[in-house]
Every structure is written in structure tokens, then in C-alpha cells.
Amino acid sequence: MNTITKSDFIRYLECPAYFWFFKKKPEVLDNQELSDFDKELIKNGQEVERWARKLFPQGVLVESRKKAAIQETKELLNSGKKTIFQVTFEAENLYAMVDILSWDDSNGYWIINEVKGTSAQDKKKDEHLYDAAFQYILLKMAGYKVGKVNLIELNKEFRKQGEINARKLLQITDITDNVKGLEEEINLMIPDMKRILGNNREPLPCECIYKSRNNHCPAFKHLYPDVPDYSVHDIVRIGLSKKKLEALIEDNCYTIEEVPKDFKLTKYQRNHVEVTQTKIPIIKTIKITEKLNELVYPLYFLDYETYPTAVPIYDGCKPYQQVPFQY
DNA sequence: GGAAAGCCGAACTTCAGAGC
DNA sequence: GCTCTGAAGTTCGGCTTTCC
């Protein structure tokens, strides 16, 4: 039986078929290469984690990875360490790494501290909650008493002034109740994930066919070879018009050229379909001319770039603030 | 005449897309 | 990852129409 990691669980939430292919047949997946910008975002997330560790000065880091990390975790726990970073557990074929695990002496239980490189909002992202809940369930399975789950995020009100204080930069939110609220649901998902993995035959086509392009899983091309790269899934904001997209798919209408003239669409969707079908662009010459006539010459242009960092570099800046620059 | 259903517009919420 | 914009969807209240 394959081990199911926390990342696998997130894949399962995204699309169960994608989860199967990732574990059993990853060569068919359409994995987009990360852009430089995406790579920087990942680095930002890692930096936030380093700052979060400063909140726990007694903490020790699990240096090894995978199976060796599980053994190192056990050794650190057996030696009485009460705050551990990147602590790694495995139980009943589930595997997860906890960003920061700390022992609460007064209450006699462990606290899971999940670190995210996001700015703290009142409404917590579902993905963060499911992520933390998976860890909570796994630690309970492994026989640990977990009394609290915290989410550590960036404080969006923070403004850098001189040296950064981690306590001001970061915000800790108790999400224990949210996590416990997901426990029953995830406990039903776990056997389903194991059942899917136990199947050696490719799964049936996924529900992604009814989602807009950006929400397709990486197994989409393999599962739906008849759907062209540019299809009805690309009609503007079609993801918000679920019934329309479902109706088109049910009629086997995959290309925009096939969309019937009388098919009900919004004004902008109809424009998109018509331009695609007729190959004639819509140019509002009069409106453009009116707008251009409002301009007073001479005109000056200033080109600049911006760059956001999770942890602000300059005084007066907040997390992820776009800082303009030229080169 | 009163209840239910349908319609419509305003206000509000959600989400996609673009940019970095 | 964030912000911004604006379209689409949802909700709700008011009004009208229909039916019993």
C-alpha cells in the first residue's frame, strides 16, 4: 500500500482522479513548469516559516527527510524535546510533516502550529483548514494527545519600522474548532483515498470536465483527449455559469465553434463566441476615438516594475506590498 | 379578498482574470 | 502570494398577477 502524504490529500481534495494518477501513473500528468514568479512565492513561504520559528526559541529542527525524519522525530520526542520544527509522523499509511509542534505544559497536550505564507484574513482558507485537520487526525492516530491547532500567518496590519519583531510580523489564530469540525468528513475521506489507491485500473473521467480551464486537474488532457486545448472551457467566466457549461458538455459541444447561435450566454460570453466563430474582431472605434480625444498632449509615459515580498524589506512597507523599481 | 407565485431591480457577495 | 476591477450570481423586498 502506498503512503498517503498531506500533499496527496490536498490533491485528492482537488480531484480524486488526479490523486490516483499522481500516485500510480504520474508520467501522464500535464505538469506546468513553475514560473520564476511562482518560485519566488515558494521562497517567500519558506522565509515566513523561518520567521515563525523565531517565536519558539527553544525549538529544534528535524534535519532529515522522509523515513529518516520519522526516526529522528521519535528520537527527539524520546529525548524530551518540547518544541520541534518539521516534525514528521506516519500512521496507518498516512504521512505528514508538522511545521511546528509544541508541548503545552499547563494543559498537558501538544499544539500543532501550521505556518502559511498568507496574510491573516477573518475567514480562513479551506485549504489551510483541511491541511491542518489532516495533521491533527494523523497525530491522534499516532497516539499523541493534541489539544490545540494554531494557524500562523502574516499580520496584514504589520508595517516594517527598523528591526522586524516576529511577534508583530506574525499572527497566531486558534483554529481548533474549525479543524475538529472537519474531522468526521476527513475520516470518511481517508478510507476512500485508500480504496482509490487499491485500484490498479485507471479511474473514470473526473468532474473537471464541468469546470473552467484554470480549474482542470493535471490529468485532464489524458482523461479527455477529445477536448481541444482551446474549448468551451475557455469561454469568458464560464466557470461561474456552471449550468451553461454542463449543458454544452452534455451535448458533446466541446469547441467554441460548435456553440449554437441560440444558446443562452451573457453579453460578453456571446461576444467571445461570435468573435471565435466569425474570426471578425469587435472593435468599438467610436468609443476608442472618444476616449483618445479626452487625452491632452503631450503625453508622458513612465514604465516601472514592482516586486512584492512576504516579509517587507523597506520601512513603511507591509507584507506583499508591491514595491516599484526600475532597471 | 387573501395566499401563492412570478417578476424585477437594488444591494450585496463571490469569483475570474490580469498584473506583478 | 496579493490587489484591483468588474462581471456574474445570489438574496431580498416590493410590486403585480393568478388562482382558489
Q: Which has the closest alpha carbon to A116: A154, A66, A88?
A: A154
Give the per-residue pLDDT at A122.
61
**Regions in chain A scoring below 50 on pLDDT:** none
Q: How many CB atoms lie within 10 A of CB A169?
A: 20
Whether residues A194 and A96 share a domain: the answer is: yes
Contacts of A271 (CB under 8 A, 6+ apart): A282
Whether residues A123 and A39 share a domain: the answer is: yes
Domain boundary among A174, A198, A222: A198
Give the per-residue pLDDT at A207.
80
A304 inside domain: no
pLDDT (tens digit, 9 = 90+) per residue, A12-63? Answer: 888 889 899 999 999 988 776 777 777 787 888 889 999 999 999 999 999 9
- Tell me the residue range of the domain where A45 lies: 4-198
A308 inside domain: no
Q: Which has the closest alpha carbon to A146: A191, A187, A179, A182?
A: A179
Residues A319 and A159: beta-carbon distance below 8 Å: no
Closest nucleotide to the alpha carbon of A153, via C1':
C1
A303 inside domain: no
A310 inside domain: no
Give the per-residue pLDDT at A140.
96
Whether residues A188 and A224 share a domain: the answer is: no
Residues A320 and A308: beta-carbon distance below 8 Å: yes
Q: How many CB atoms lie within 10 A of CB A319?
A: 25
Whether residues A32 and A175 share a domain: the answer is: yes
Whether residues A16 and A150 share a domain: the answer is: yes
Give the per-residue pLDDT at A319.
87
Identify the residue whose Cα has the smallest distance to the C1' of B15: A240
Q: At A101, which CATH number?
A: 3.90.320
Closest nucleotide to the alpha carbon of A304, via C1':
B20
Whether residues A178 and A260 share a domain: the answer is: no
* Range 87-146, chain A: CB under 7 Å to any strand B atom: none
Whether residues A52 and A178 share a domain: the answer is: yes
Domain boundary among A168, A198, A228: A198
Q: Which protein residues have a C-beta closer than 7 A to any atom of strand C?
A: A 37, 41, 44-45, 116-119, 121, 125, 156, 236-237, 240-241, 244, 266-269, 308, 319-320
Cross-strand bridge partners of residue A103: A110
A164 inside domain: yes
Q: Given its phi and psi angles, is residue A310 left (phi above 0), alpha (psi -120 to 50 degrees) or beta?
A: alpha
Q: Which nucleotides of B are covered by protein (CB under 7 A)?
A: 15-17, 19-20
A298 inside domain: no
Phi then psi for residue A22, to 5 deg, are -60, -40
Whether residues A233 and A277 share a domain: the answer is: yes
Phi then psi for residue A179, to 5 deg, are -65, -45
Question: CA–C1' distance A247–C16 (Å)?
Answer: 33
- Give the DSSP H/E element, type plus range, for residue A11: helix A6-14
Domain count, chain A: 2
